[in-house]
Amino acid sequence: MSDTHKLEPGQKVNLGEMPADGKDFHDNRKEAEKEFKELRKEFRDLQARLYAEDKRQMLIVFQAMDAGGKDGTIRVITQGVNPQGVRVASFKAPSKKELAHDFLWRIHPHAPARGMISIFNRSHYEDVLVVRVDNLVPESIWRPRYDHINNFEELLVDSKTTILKFYLHIDREEQRERFQERVDIQEKNWKFSFEDLEKRKQWDGYMAAYEEMLEKTTTTYAPWYVIPANQNWY
Ligand code: ATP
Ligand code: MG
């Protein structure tokens, strides 16, 4: 795993100053796509070995603002991977039953079993993001969750899970363009919701929540990567 976009524990995070343009890191889209295909081949091979070895497992977490590219990224990285060895879990707003439990209750069953890769499309991190920005619970409830998350992830790592966490970083203008596409292009209409526009107004609140989350939950055993995601080919 390249360390270019990896955060260090204790690092101060200012997303406004962090690159969202992947083109500044790779100047040739064609070349990048070729490299990606090579890497994906390697990923497939390693996944097959992980499954055959059956001794450890991997968790990959994706977080991003709406239209940040989580779905598309998961679709392309898993292409050709043996579906028996990979599970994707998408976390939506919790049900009444889920809300009656602690916030990790619905997450834990989706942690990977031995030999498996779990990919989270959204995750337990929503519980310090949307929950904070929308004031769904008081700060006295969400603030201790950074520690709970770190402890939970430490448990997974101690149980032989490798954890990779990616924040797909787009800027506000890129999000506007992607929403516009969802309106303009019929095949993409289904992805658009008016809630997205409401959320857009909360951009600054989300950036603050993401920044603190990235600072508090980048650990030696489960660091975050902030991936410039304005160009999805990068
Ligand atoms: P798409 O990219 O297709 O829009 P999505 O992941 O945004 O996919 P949606 O159904 O649009 O899927 O949104 C899921 C919603 O569930 C998000 O708004 C997210 O913030 C919300 N959500 C996820 N986890 C929680 C949580 N723990 N508490 C409250 N809301 C949550
Ligand atoms: Mg959405």
pLDDT in tens, 70-102: 999 999 999 999 999 999 999 999 999 999 999
What is the arithmetic mean of pLDDT over 184-198? 91
Q: 92 CB under 6 A from ligand 1?
A: yes
pLDDT of residue 70: 97
For the chain, the average pLDDT equals 97
**Ligand number nearest to the C-alpha of 99:** 1
Atom nearest to 193 CA in ligand 1: 11
Which ligand does the CA of 199 lie closest to?
Answer: 1
Taking the C-alpha atoms of residue 79 and residue 21, their distance in angstroms, rounded to an integer, is 25
Question: Phi and psi dihedrals of 65, rounded to 5?
Answer: -65, 165
For residues 34-49, average pLDDT? 97
Q: What is the CA 9 to chain-centroid distance, rounded? A: 18
114 lines ligand 1 (CB under 6 A): no
Determine the distance separating the centroid of ligand 1 and the alpha carbon of 131, expressed in angstroms.
11
Instruction: Calculate the alpha carbon distances from 67 to 15, 21, 31, 72 in Å.
Output: 17, 15, 25, 10
Sequence letter at residue 84: Q
Atom index in ligand 1 nearest the CA of residue 130 equals 20
CA of 12 to the centre of ligand 1 (A): 27
Q: What is the pLDDT of residues 10-21, one digit of tens each?
A: 999 999 999 999
| pLDDT-derived band at 2, boundaries 50, 70, 90 | confident
Q: What is the pLDDT of residue 149?
A: 99
* Cα Rg of the chain, angstroms: 18
Q: How many residues does the chain have?
A: 234
Tell me how far the alpha carbon of residue 43 lies from the centroid of ligand 1, in angstroms. Answer: 28
Contacts of 29 by beta carbon, 8 Å cutoff, 6+ apart: 23, 231, 233
CA distances from 214 to 23, 80, 124, 187, 217 (A): 23, 31, 13, 34, 5
- What average pLDDT does this structure show over 166-185? 96
Task: Please work out whether the CB of residue 94 comes within 6 Å of at least one atom of ligand 1.
Answer: yes
Question: Which residue is closest in CA terms to ligand 1's atom 13?
Answer: 92
Which pLDDT score is estimated for 34? 97
| Ligand 1 site, residue 15, Cβ cutoff 6 A | no
119: left (phi over 0), alpha (psi -120 to 50) or beta: beta
Distances in whole angstroms, Cα of residue 173 to Cα of each of 84, 169, 170: 39, 12, 8
* Candidate from 66, 179, 196 with most ligand 1 atoms within 8 A of CB, to mutate: 66
Confidence of residue 60 (pLDDT cuts 50, 70, 90): very high
